[in-house]
Amino acid sequence: MEFKEVIGRRRSIRFFDRDRPVEREKIQTILETARLASCAVNAHWLRAIVVERDKLPPEKLSQLKTPVAALTLDLAPVHIYFFVDLGTVNRVKGSRLKELVDVGALAPSHGWSHKFVDDFVYPQILEPMTRNLEGYVPAAFADAGGAAQNALLAAFDEGLGACLNTPNPVLTKQVLGVPDDWISMWVLLLGYPAESWEAGGQRPRPDFEELYFDGEYGKPFKRDPAVVEKLKAANMIQAPAPLPGRREEIKKLTEELGLPE
């Protein structure tokens, strides 16, 4: 698919074919896209643990369930738990920035050198930043979120369905045995959809001009109808929910999968 269509086809899929496994090749492809995401100071905060549902002991699967995602965890064959590794900056101590200097991504014309990293960037910016958790945690989560979004979109490009959910952070860390300085972020539930790929249509969103501003707050960024039509032609903006027959589809899925009505 073209990029705009991948954006347009993304839905939060919650009905999975529970008996159809996801190929490891596709799981790796999804993780590769997260690895290539843009990342401040080349730190790469995102970590992931891939859990195959059927290889997880039932008692552990039960511990990982939350009230809003219990059924979806049962249906999705693969769960990818995303974490933010807050300790990475102080472990690498600017070495990944030096890698960017070495390959020419950070150029001397902009002041970059190994000495600049060692003498200024790490001791005066990066290390102090890690002690200011009020600023550090949101920055790390923002970058990790961008990487996770790459993974989410890659799932749809691979012909899968996916849904992001918020796990119980305490139980997730305990069950999966992660280091203390990892913070639980999301779980990406993966599988082949049991529902149609449209999943009832594109979800409702706030009005464009309610969200975005032009130069200053209170001055809406005007939405151009011609651009909207162009994006419709590219399948990025698609028919809104609810599509005809969605309630009938849900009823049929409920019966086929033996789910509560």
Note whether residue 227 is domain-resident. no
pLDDT at 89: 96
Q: 66-90 burial string, b = 16+ CB within 10 Å, else e? A: eeebeebbebbbbbbbbbbbbebbe
Per-residue pLDDT for 260 more than 90?
Answer: no
Note whether residue 218 is domain-resident. no
Note whether residue 236 is domain-resident. no
Note whether residue 230 is domain-resident. no
pLDDT at 106: 96
Structural domain that includes position 68: 3-194
**Displacement of CA 81 from its chain's centroid (Å):** 10
Note whether residue 206 is domain-resident. no
The enclosing domain of 155 has a CATH number of 3.40.109.10
Note whether residue 158 is domain-resident. yes
pLDDT at 261: 78
Two structure tokens written together for 187? 């779980």
Per-residue pLDDT band at 23 (split at 50, 70, 90): very high
Two structure tokens written together for 185? 């972020």
Nearest to 197 by CA among 233, 156, 163: 156
Beta bridge partners of 85: 182
Angle at 83 between CA 120 and CA 189, to 5 degrees: 145
Note whether residue 232 is domain-resident. no
How do residues 131-164 score in pLDDT, each as one tens digit? 999 999 999 999 999 999 999 999 999 999 999 9
**Percentage with pLDDT > 70 across the chain:** 100
**Residue 5 near residue 153 (C-beta atoms within 8 A):** no
Q: 23-44 burial string, b = 16+ CB within 10 Å, else e? A: eeebbeebbebbeebebebbbb
Q: How many domains does the structure of the chain reveal?
A: 1
Residue located via tokens 């992931």 = 48
How do residues 78-128 score in pLDDT, each as one tens digit? 999 999 999 999 999 999 999 999 999 999 999 999 999 999 999 999 999
**Residue 162 near residue 188 (C-beta atoms within 8 A):** yes
Note whether residue 226 is domain-resident. no
